Structure 1
Amino acid sequence: MAFKGVLHRLAQGARAFRTRIVLRVAFLGTTLWLLFYVIAKGTYHLAVPIVFGFVLLYQLYALIYYVERTNRDLTRFLNAIRYADFSQTFVTGGLGSSFDELKTAFNEVLDAFRQARAEKEEQARYLQTVVQHIGVGLIVFDNAGEVSLINNAAKRLLGVPRLGHIADLNRVTPILTTTLQSLGPGGRDLVSLEEVRLALHASVFQIGDRKHTLVALHDIGPDLDEKEMEAWQNLIRVLTHEIMNSITPIASLAATADGMLKDDAPDSETTEDIRTAVSTIQRRSEGLLHFVEAYRDLTRVPAPSFEIVSIAELFARVEQLMRPQFAESAVELHTEVNPPSLELTADPEQVEQILINLLRNAREAAAGRAGARVDLTAHLAHDKVVVEVADNGPGIVEEALGKVFIPFFTTKPDGSGIGLSLCRQIMRLHRGSISARSEPGVRTVFALRF
């Protein structure tokens, strides 16, 4: 509506300008006709044609000045629109009311453009804020690989503070760079990084003569871990239920039979063998019941009771508890919190349980090696609290590294395959993650991210 009013004013100004031009030309023609009439009559004073000549010259000058001034202002107005220079203003006065109306219309047009540009900039800032705060990572790059947009979620997922060119992602992993450049319109792919598993979805659009690719990045790792853990929990519930139902009566009958043999049966070699066999069945049945009961813990982890926890105090309690075991194994334990005031929101008892489990594994792995050492550290990384347990033990082979958090899987001869699975379950309830990396013979690190 505002633009319609401005255009109406422009049309009015143009009509008034045309009318004034017609009037000026008419006056100029009338003066010229009178000059020729006086000359043709021949009866005149010498000063009369001179006066008419000056009047004619003045009218001609005024007409040229009026048109040129209008053309200059019109050119300035059009250039202001062409180059989006809406800071121009047109001062009214000096050339008549019609010319003032035209200048007023010019100013109103520029004001309308200024307002439209301000609204456009506000919308752009709004969209930029939305893009930067959504949880899905977004990257936009052209055919040359130049990145024109990367939001905070993408920076967090990729672990980069800024990104100017897609090739810069080679520092993260070359596979990611190759995958991004190969994605076509509607293309989808999966890329596994050290800490995240990314689902990529690409769209292609064109601005001017340049094509741009928009890639959405979503970390599907937590969703996959949750579904996997739920599947394992359901399996464990079924297995423990069936095993408990079968083993419980066996253990009970074995205990009854053993008691009957002790009380009533005569003492003979055959009876002793039977008693030994029944006793063995009883012990093994009870051991199996305890074993199954341990696995049921994976399905019965209580909801965390969150509170603000000082990591330095948490480390101190765990270190005091584990220090005698480390001294007995001749393994050095070092702790570090950076910054010392670092805190996290978590269930302190459950986090202690994780750290005790990880430290026990690290101590057992490093024991017996020269310069055996375990490091317990905490720091901030990409706005997340990261707690790491590292040891210089023999390490974990690559084939086993991806399975260490799976229930029942263990690399230790006497392991149960429960500890790390329980750690992952607790971290999932904390909306965090646990990961492992290892360089065999050099260093193994388990990282908790809150």
Structure 2
Amino acid sequence: MDFSNTRTAVLLRVGLLTLNIFVLAYLIFNDGFFVTELVLFILMGLQVISLIKTLERNNQELIHFLESIRHDDLSYSYKTDSQNEDTNKLNAELNKVLKDLREVRKEKEADFQYLKNIVQHVGIGLITFNKAGAVQIMNTAAKKLLRINNIENVKDLGAISENLVDIFLRLRTGGRDLIRLEIGGDIVQLAIYAIELTLRGEEFKLVSVQNIQNELEEKEMEAWQNLVKVLTHEIMNSVTPISSLANTVEEELKLQLHNDQEVSHISSEEIADIHLAIQTIKKRSQGLIRFVQDFRNLTHIPKPKISEIKVRPLLEEMLMLLKREIEDNHIKANIRVDPENLTINADKELIEQVLINLIKNAAQAFDEQTNRLVELKAYVDEKSRPVISVRDNGNGIDDEALEKIFIPFFTTKKSGSGIGLSLSRQIMRQHQGMLGVKSKLDEGTEFFLRF
């Protein structure tokens, strides 16, 4: 008999088993010989076993195939030279699947190595660790920055700074923090950013660490240079005429004394000139004193006393306070708050100071415009943070001035002190918020208070 085909073998065994059952049943019902019945019964059992083995033969190959995949063993290869044609076909397909899986694994391994190289060579320090603090990845930049080789747990960084470990563990997704450390005798200012991830049901945290000390020093130097320019300009504007007028008065009095003239012999015109010079010196001195007082105010901002403030009543109070100035300038003002019950957590007096400054600036932003508008708007941004904006449709601010408007004592107004916007930005920073601006010439300006 030819068993080369599995289907034929199964059908033949089923047929023989069926025939055997009928013959056995016939003998039982017709009182046949007991020995013959026993032989047929044993033969039937052997046929059942043979049928099961035939059916399980291919199943064993499939089970072995699935187990090799489960254990990630793709090195096995199935024979395709047996006498069973169906088995050869099945094994050939299994070999194709294993080959495809090997190719996929190679591609994933290549992608992994590519990403691993990127992570290792990126200029920002990267550290990943699980909920227990066990470190999975620590790239080269992080090792160089923290001056360590390898650590098993993020808590091992306690040897550098316990505060650093606390920040790593405390930060949540989107959290940022700054820390100043001394590492190896060098002072570093680290900017730390964290994001939480879930991989295969396990929680991980990815932390980026960057030394921004050089950038801070450059910005600090730039800020000092800008401040010195402004201070020099303001002080020289006051000191130069004072010095010049003092020199003129001194020369005049010196001449009188040299000629042994009494004060009564000085003409009224000369006395008037001296009086005018002294008045000018007084005014410029008072201006210089005010300038110094403004500078002191800029460096002494009280700590905010935080309370919950309803935004709409706050904005309505501001417009009522500045109603006269707005009406005198023929400006239309409106308020839009969404949602209506929007609140902020802030120091009411300090925020009022910021809003008054911004609304006054908006009211003074017009030249010849007829349809003058100042709009106060409050809303919640995409990050669920409250925002208050003050917008006007006035002249706008050119790009060069826009870069300098937050520098102390810089102003584009003839009568401005130049500290309002700088002071307002510092107040917002005290609230852990920010003051931003966007402007377009001849279209208007909008300031944003983000809390």
Taking structure 1 as the reference length, the TM-score comes to: 0.50
Taking structure 2 as the reference length, the TM-score comes to: 0.49
